[in-house]
Amino acid sequence: MNPENLLLETDGAVALIRLHRPKQLNALNDALMDELGAALARFDADDDIGCIVLTGSERAFAAGADIAAMAPKTFDQVLREDFISRNWEQILRVRKPVIAAVAGYALGGGCELAMMCDFIIAADDARFGQPEIKIGIIPGAGGTQRLPRAVGKSKAMDMVLSARMMDAQEAERSGLVSRVVPAARLLDEAMDTARTIAAFPRQSVMMAKECVNRAYSAPLADGLLFERRAFHSLFATHDQKEGMDAFLAKRAPKFENR
């Protein structure tokens, strides 16, 4: 079934997902998050796809969880339906890289969704914030945990407690985004990066992603051991032999993702 709140396309080995609720600045409601989870799972399972780009519009990546949908909810209801956990976290189960291409506002759940991607490329007009405090709640999709890991405690506290937004330049200085590009170049830059990643051996890409993520969930010694064993295991692949032979023979490698 075609999603109503997303635009999906593929370009070679890259899948592009655009959040598409333009009238609400891509505010994230259950319908959109269900569709996003399904699209991500589908592209993750598709052998022809090697990398996924997630973007919004020129005006907003996403202005947060849908406030109109949340306003009438009660404690009992959000607890029973496990609001957020139920359908927002599919993105964390995707094993292929997901790049967030952020232009305009990435606020509240929008900022949190971008942080759940593997890295963020920002347009020079991007603005990041966790303004939930202004509407009587707090970040609920990981903002109080991922933001301090990305930008440090002081800036995270500043943003979460005062609702101050960060512009793209500050976000890059602080380590929240990997690079800032002119707004008109954002999608080209993200797609080019995704194509580069998708051309590398799939098994190396997936293991590299898993290893970097371990840095956030495991003590250093366990993360290092996890990395070492993943590194060792790649010597069992065709593409390791091919990559190294090609380098030594000064020719382009022909990877087969095996």
Annotated catalytic residues are 65, 109, 112, 132
| 141 is a site residue for ligand CAA (CB under 6 A) | yes
C-alpha distance from residue 25 to each of 20, 21, 42, 64, 86 (Å)? 8, 6, 25, 9, 23
From candidates 37, 50, 97, 108, binder to ligand CAA by CB under 6 A = 108
Q: What is the closest distance, in whole angstroms, from the C-beta atom of residue 250 to ligand CAA in the complex? A: 51
From candidates 112, 172, 189, 227, binder to ligand CAA by CB under 6 A = 112
From candidates 37, 50, 56, 64, binder to ligand CAA by CB under 6 A = 64
Place of tokens 């993702």: 257
Determine the Cα–Cα distance for residues 101 and 211; give it in Å rounded to an integer. Answer: 23
| 105 is a site residue for ligand CAA (CB under 6 A) | yes
Determine the Cα–Cα distance for residues 140 and 130; give it in Å rounded to an integer. Answer: 10
Contact by Cβ (8 Å): 99, 121: yes
| 92 is a site residue for ligand CAA (CB under 6 A) | no
Whichever of 57 and 204 has its CB closer to ligand CAA, that residue is 57
| 50 is a site residue for ligand CAA (CB under 6 A) | no
Contact by Cβ (8 Å): 98, 52: yes
Binding site for ligand CAA (CB under 6 A): 24-25, 27, 63-68, 84, 105, 107-109, 112, 131-132, 135, 139-141, 143
